[in-house]
Amino acid sequence: MEIRLIRESEYITVNDFFNNTCGINAPGCKTARDFHRFRWEFLEGPGRKAIYAGAWEVELGKEPVLAGIQCVIIHQMISADGHTILAAKGEDTLIDIRAIGNYKNTDILKELFTLLTDECMKLGVKYLWGFNNIPATYRRLGFDNAFKSFYAVLVLNPVATYKQMTAKPGSRALQKLNMALLAGLSYAYSARQFLHLTRKQYYHIDQAINDNTGLFQRAATPGRLLFLQQDDAYLDWRIRKNPYAVNYRSFQFLDRNNILRGQVICSVTGQVAFIEQTLFDKSLKKRNVYYLLKTVIQALKNENICMVRHAGFNNNRLNSREMGLLHNLGFVSTGKGEWFTFKKLSDDPMINPENIYLSRLYKQGIN
């Protein structure tokens, strides 16, 4: 078994391995990531290319065979007081289960991760992070499973929402009943919340998607929270050039001097919308915050969206505030989601999971 970084000439092989091995490890799993999507996700980001490692079965006289992959995407983070650091997000972790059986004395995943960690430290990366549903595996790799996300939903059309929630094959009668009750209760609660009137003063709304770094800093000051720097280059890559079938909506709240005071970014797939991220200047009054949020919901409702979903965190003041605002607007909790995993590579006391503002825009945007 040879563990090394992937060469540029091997990227197509890597993507083919990803597609083929998903089907082997999970029969019936239909994965069709074409190379254009691979290139966008890992080679064309706003910073450097992803650092990609592979495990190869090597036999004399034969072509090496890929048996496992793992990579990290390097992102630039910015603090509320203007300092920038590098962080790395883990992606494409996949080991062929046949190789695990053939190399029982080799921890393939750990060796891949060790190589990637060494490369990150050479670049000055301060921490590694990701979202996952396999906490035991990441704990074995030295990660801290810091906390989970919380799911919530706002039902705009209970009948259509029920159909969406029960569309998956295998839904049982009791599950369908619970989903029907959830849809009805959420709709009744949200309808009551929308009776509260709000208004705006001296502001206007547009639908551009602009650099929001300054807005984050005005939202977080005087704290030392960290934020994934969403400048024009990042937003152009993550949203405008996104090759997946996800549509985005942006709602920006600007004052009379055209300074960005609030921003809500949503994604839309079919009849379901997802609030990806909200940011509000600390100086913005609550009535204006709710005016913007209700404008967003009404715009989505006008598109025949049946429900709006959200994945929030309560690890710091900004994330908790976002959850509270949406709850007051009528969003109903539906349970916990993915783990946020974290591994520190620096002695800087500021760098810890509680100081990282998180949103769905930190994910890859493939669904």
Q: How confident is the model at residue 159 (pLDDT cuts 50, 70, 90)?
A: confident
Instruction: Report the relative pairing of strands 332-344 and 144-155 from DSSP bridges.
Output: antiparallel
Task: Between 201 and 338, name the one with better pLDDT.
Answer: 338
* pLDDT at 24 > cutoff 70: no
Least confident of 37-41, 163-167, 286-290: 163-167
Share of the chain above pLDDT 90, in %: 72
The predicted structure's pLDDT at residue 323: 96
Q: What is the mean pLDDT of the chain?
A: 88
The predicted structure's pLDDT at residue 109: 92
The predicted structure's pLDDT at residue 197: 47
Share of the chain above pLDDT 70, in %: 88
The predicted structure's pLDDT at residue 248: 97
Question: For residue range 69-118, what is the model confidence (pLDDT) as tens digits?
Answer: 999 999 999 999 999 999 999 999 999 888 777 777 888 999 999 999 99
The predicted structure's pLDDT at residue 176: 54
The predicted structure's pLDDT at residue 343: 97
Average pLDDT over residues 22-35: 67
Task: Between 272 and 223, name the one with better pLDDT.
Answer: 272
Average pLDDT over residues 196-203: 63
State the Cα torsion 42-46-51-54 to the nearest 10°.
Answer: 10
Per the CB < 8 A criterion, the answer to whether 292 and 260 are in contact is no
The predicted structure's pLDDT at residue 160: 79
Average pLDDT over residues 16-42: 80
The predicted structure's pLDDT at residue 178: 62
3-state SS record for 221-276: CCCCCEEECCCHHHHHHHHHCCCCCCEEEEEEEEECCCCEEEEEEEEEECCEEEEE
Instruction: Using alpha carbons, list the distances in angstroms from residue 105 to 108, 110, 193.
Output: 9, 12, 58
Residue 240 Ramachandran class (φ > 0 left, ψ -120 to 50 alpha, else beta): alpha
225: nearest Cα among 82, 128, 356, 352: 356
Q: What is the C-alpha to C-alpha distance for residues 280 and 318, in angstroms, rounded to an integer?
A: 9
* pLDDT at 195 > cutoff 70: no
Other Cβ atoms within 10 Å of 86 Cβ, number:
17
Task: Between 249 and 181, name the one with better pLDDT.
Answer: 249
Residue 221 token pair: 């000051």
Average pLDDT over residues 288-295: 93
* pLDDT at 321 > cutoff 60: yes
Average pLDDT over residues 311-322: 95
Q: How confident is the model at residue 163 (pLDDT cuts 50, 70, 90)?
A: confident
309: nearest Cα among 321, 297, 318: 297
Span(s) in the chain for CATH 3.40.630.30: 2-123, 150-338+348-362
The predicted structure's pLDDT at residue 180: 56
The predicted structure's pLDDT at residue 319: 96
pTM of the model: 0.89
Task: Please give the CATH superfamily to which domain 2-123 belongs.
Answer: Gcn5-related N-acetyltransferase (GNAT) (3.40.630.30)
Question: For residue range 116-142, what is the model confidence (pLDDT) as tens digits?
Answer: 999 999 999 999 999 999 999 999 999
Q: What's the distance, CA 49 to chain centroid? A: 19
Question: For residue range 225-279, what is the model confidence (pLDDT) as tens digits?
Answer: 999 999 999 999 999 999 999 999 999 999 999 999 999 999 999 999 999 999 9
Q: What is the C-alpha to C-alpha distance for residues 239 and 364, in angstroms, rounded to an integer?
A: 10
Per the CB < 8 A criterion, the answer to whether 113 and 71 are in contact is no
* pLDDT at 303 > cutoff 90: yes
Q: What's the distance, CA 185 to chain centroid? A: 28
Task: Report the CATH fold assignment for 150-338+348-362.
Answer: Aminopeptidase (3.40.630)
> What is the DSSP annotation of 104-136?
TT--HHHHHHHHHHHHHHHHTEEEEEEEES-HH
